[in-house]
Chain A
Amino acid sequence: MTVTAEPQKAAPETKAKIGLSEGKRAERRLAWWLCAPAVIVMLAVTAWPIIYSIWLSLQRYDLRFPNDTEFVGLDNYIAVLSNGYWWTAFGVTMLITIVSVVIELVLGMTLALIMHRALVGRGLVRTVSLIPYGIVTVVAAFSWFYAWDQSSGYLTGMESAPLTSQWSSLFIIILAEVWKTTPFMALLLMAGLALVPEDLLKAASMDGASAWQRFTKVMVPVMKPAILVALLFRTLDAFRIFDNIFVLTKGQNDTSSVSMQAYNNLLKGLNLGIGSTMSVLIFIAVAIIAFLFIKVFGTAAPGSDTEGRR
């Protein structure tokens, strides 16, 4: 992917245009044969479902009325995009995504710095901090559910039922998300911290930079690729939030995410047309987020050169 790798590749390619030798051609054929299984599997498990979803999204296809199936063009897209429920869910999803990712970034960075600087029991600290990430989301969500549930909750009194109104539910959903994925963020950021040369920090400190200045002027710029990758991963993940909401509120009181809504329309409503339309829209939204991160912020793999941004 990087620019540095390209000159080496370029040479055989120019030759290919002139005409390959018999041996080269056989080698290339072999390469295709070796790739073929992977390509076929990828086509079967990724490309085909995507294409099929797009095809379904262009049809009126309700499993309860199998005889009324017909091609309707973009009607489903108009129905979804002009619907208030969809935009409510979209707003809720965006809110959860942005708020939880920002909190995770701050907490994750703090945790990463602590783990990076820990003098004693470094292994233990790292392991312990990873425990929430190791717990199955549904299991963790259930423990949050019972903690906040009106009848059994130890975090709430008998008189209040926080999971029955929108804002308190969203707060709990975000809390569960943050609790669960901050360690993941911290882990990615710690990989970035390892990139910051100790000498650079010492030099800055010699020049009279305060701790905060060293953090913002030295660490963050050097860590930028790692931070952006961590943000990208978490944003994409958070945008597709499903399990926490499914367990905590089932999407009641306007806490449904776009993924919940797609699920409801597909599996509860059996409306393959509308449901697939939503899936395609989620796919597009995720693609836009990834595009923004890569093209606008210049996200690249951590550790690769800054030329990685093209």
Chain B
Amino acid sequence: MGIAPFRGQPVTGRRRLFTALAAGLVAAPMVAACGTEQGNIITLYYADQEYVPGIVATCNEQAGDEYEIVHRVLPRDADGQREQMVRRLAAEDSDLDLLGLDVTWVPEFAEAGWLAEFTGSNKEAASEDVLEIPLETATWNDKLYAATMNTNVQLLWYDKTLTPTPPETWEEMLEMSQELKDEGKPYEILFTGAQYEGLVVAFNTLVNSAGGHILSEDGTKVEMDSGAMAALRMLQKVATSGLVSPSLSASQEQQIHEAFAAPDTKAAFQINWPYVWAVTPTLNEEKAENLAWAPLPGLDGHPGAATVGGFDIGVSAYSQKKDLAFKAALCLRSAEQQKYAAICAGVPPTLESLYSDETPIAPCKPEVSQDRLSMADAYPMKETILDELETASVRPLTPVYQNLSTITSKLLSPPSDINVNQTAGELREQLNEALQSQGVLP
């Protein structure tokens, strides 16, 4: 774009200035027009999940001209996703419409005033048929701030040629592992032990499995009861038993499922999310045939109790198109879409009826296979998941969850260095400070 003379006359200084101004005046509304032309674009800030392109395409097709969802891909790691959204929301960026929220972020985002509440018919649509525990993760102060996209619970995955009957308790699992080790067979117990959210999930699961609590019911006080102490003791015991991978303190989900499926694997057990079922055959077909699942092991005479994971979808309080955004959100988490994500990408749905649904869907990857799968085909473990979801616990619901999580993973890392009484004391003190939003993050 130059400032060319438009009548072939020599341009004087004054005229040049005028021309520039005129060009600016003409261009300004054009730029603005570009903005209004995109009036029906709904941005979806969501993690790079396998199922997103599929559900976005379906919703856009169904919506016709009404709106068009554009997926803005967030980083793979949860911290990265949260940081990107939080930075923009703190600056009241109106470019964000839909937010993909990890289940632990809803209280924080809601308390900060970044989420638009689901009310009236939207609320009804977003809570109908939803399992109780996942719905709890989308709720803050009795108001619904998000719609559930998918839920998740970890299972105990094992190799049925090594252990035909899975262990029912942690103590039993340690014994079995020791026996396997003595026989020179694969024996390792894999779980997420790196200093990140995964370690908090592992600890929270242990605490729940021992019937304990980290925080009080209302999430305002630190409890750290006897169950929590038992969990701490077990975590320390497992980490120092010699039955875990030497890289326990660097293990995240991916490292675990890869280590379990490695050709020369030393692993006999892994505690991981249901996607393991879908991913293992792509890594090691032989191992996949022997792969089996069981409910999480119990502790201290209590049955195993999972920690609920998954994603919710929220509407930004700064969105300029909230009505369309709510519609798009409800489409993205509809029964049809959740079923697609469950069958084609391995994320468990939050709608109870889908667990008894038997109709197959269109082929996931038509170019690879024409199989029309149903929930039962893709989710042989759906009953176990449903059972676990009944007793699962939500991670502490509080706006300062991020601080609690950072401190917990910091104090528990590496798990082999846990000194039960001292670590418990530090957890009590520092979690308490974090709840008052005082104190420093490591």
Binding site for B on A (CB under 8 A): 60, 62-66, 68, 79-80, 83, 85-86, 88-89, 150-151, 159-161, 163-165, 250-253, 256, 261, 264-265, 267-271, 274
* Of B86, B406, B437, the contact of A62 (CB 8 Å cutoff): B437
- Contact: A64 with B108, CB < 8 Å? yes
* Of B112, B255, B441, the contact of A268 (CB 8 Å cutoff): B441
Nearest chain B CB to A93's CB is how many angstroms away? Answer: 14
A261-B403 Cα distance, complex, nearest whole Å: 13
* Of A85, A150, A267, A271, the contact of B442 (CB 8 Å cutoff): A85
How many positions in chain B have a CB within 8 Å of any CB in the partner chain? Answer: 31
Given A253-B195, A270-B86: A163 touches B250 (CB 8 Å cut-off): yes
Using CB atoms, name the residue of chain A closest to B442.
A85
Taking A268-B83, A269-B441 as known contacts, 18 extra A-B pairs with beta carbons closer than 8 A to each other, sorted by chain A number, are A63-B86, A63-B90, A64-B108, A64-B111, A66-B113, A79-B438, A83-B440, A85-B440, A88-B442, A89-B442, A150-B247, A163-B250, A164-B247, A164-B414, A264-B406, A265-B441, A267-B86, A268-B441
28 CB contacts below 8 A, A to B, read: A60-B437, A62-B437, A63-B86, A63-B112, A64-B112, A64-B437, A66-B113, A83-B439, A85-B440, A85-B441, A86-B440, A88-B442, A150-B247, A151-B255, A151-B258, A160-B246, A161-B247, A163-B250, A164-B414, A253-B195, A253-B249, A261-B440, A261-B442, A264-B442, A267-B86, A268-B83, A268-B406, A270-B112
- Contact: A159 with B246, CB < 8 Å? yes
- Contact: A264 with B250, CB < 8 Å? no
A228-B338 Cα distance, complex, nearest whole Å: 64
A68-B400 Cα distance, complex, nearest whole Å: 14
A151-B437 Cα distance, complex, nearest whole Å: 38
Chain A residues near B402 (CB, 8 Å)?
268-270
- Contact: A65 with B247, CB < 8 Å? no
Using CB atoms, name the residue of chain A closest to B403.
A269
Using CB atoms, name the residue of chain A closest to B193.
A164
Chain A residues near B82 (CB, 8 Å)?
268
Leading 4 A-B pairs by shortest Cβ distance: A252-B195, A161-B247, A85-B442, A83-B440
A164-B246 Cα distance, complex, nearest whole Å: 10
From 423 to 442 in chain B, residues with beta carbon under 8 angstroms from any chain A beta carbon are: 437-442
- Contact: B249 with A161, CB < 8 Å? yes
Chain B residues near A64 (CB, 8 Å)?
108, 111-112, 399-400, 437
Chain A residues near B217 (CB, 8 Å)?
none
Contact of B352 with A by CB under 8 A = no
- Contact: A251 with B442, CB < 8 Å? yes
Contact of B122 with A by CB under 8 A = no
A63-B249 Cα distance, complex, nearest whole Å: 32
A81-B111 Cα distance, complex, nearest whole Å: 29
Contact of B156 with A by CB under 8 A = no
Chain A residues near B249 (CB, 8 Å)?
161, 164-165, 253
A270-B113 Cα distance, complex, nearest whole Å: 14
CB within 8 Å: A-B pair count: 88
From 180 to 217 in chain B, residues with beta carbon under 8 angstroms from any chain A beta carbon are: 194-195
A268-B402 Cα distance, complex, nearest whole Å: 8
A261-B440 Cα distance, complex, nearest whole Å: 9
From 397 to 414 in chain B, residues with beta carbon under 8 angstroms from any chain A beta carbon are: 399-400, 402-403, 406, 413-414
Contact of B66 with A by CB under 8 A = no
- Contact: A65 with B440, CB < 8 Å? no
A133-B413 Cα distance, complex, nearest whole Å: 34
- Contact: B87 with A267, CB < 8 Å? yes
Residue among A251, A268, A269, A270 with most chain B CB within 10 A: A270
Given A64-B399, A164-B247, A164-B249: A79 touches B440 (CB 8 Å cut-off): yes
From 247 to 276 in chain B, residues with beta carbon under 8 angstroms from any chain A beta carbon are: 247, 249-250, 255, 258
From 363 to 393 in chain B, residues with beta carbon under 8 angstroms from any chain A beta carbon are: none
Chain B, 56-70, contact with A by CB distance < 8 Å: what is the 0/1 string?
A: 000000000000000
A149-B112 Cα distance, complex, nearest whole Å: 38
Nearest chain B CB to A37's CB is how many angstroms away? Answer: 20
